[in-house]
Amino acid sequence: MSQQANVTLNSVVYAPNGTSNGIATWANRSGGYGNSFSFLTEKMTQSAKSEVVRFEFKLTVPVVETVGTANAAIGDLLRTSTFFITALMPVNGTAAERTDMKARLVSLVASLPFTDAVGNLDPAYG
């Protein structure tokens, strides 16, 4: 198990925010308003009889009003985007297999279907 350290995602730094009930949390509080804080969490589970380890990552990115309008005050929450990543890894898998899966995930995020889906809300079609 690695100790929590800062995590940088797209030049945004998430600082360790502790662990509670087996869930490690990192926070970016640069927005200044409580509801503007962005969080990254990681949870690992494995039952005593399980041959699979489950990792769950969650990234939440809120958007708050920064100027103030007739419809929203400065600091009001406008919307939140959330990503969930779940990995099921066999405990008897090799380091090479895990490295390959990680590389495939990185490639997936860089792929055209993923970037179109996230960037343009445009899913792949047959």
Average pLDDT, the chain: 94
Same domain membership, residue 31 and residue 78: yes
Res. 121 pLDDT band, cuts 50 70 90: very high
Is 58 within 8 Å of 84 (Cβ atoms)?
A: yes
Average the pLDDT over each of 55-59, 66-70, 110-114, 119-123 and give the range with the smallest value. 66-70
In terms of Cα–Cα distance, which of 65, 79, 81 is closest to 121? 81
Same domain membership, residue 23 and residue 75: yes
Does residue 97 surpass a pLDDT of 70?
A: yes
Q: Which domain holds residue 100?
A: 93-126
pTM of this prediction exceeds 0.85? yes
The pLDDT of residue 40: 98
Average pLDDT over residues 49-61: 94
First to last CA, the chain: 42
Same domain membership, residue 106 and residue 72: no
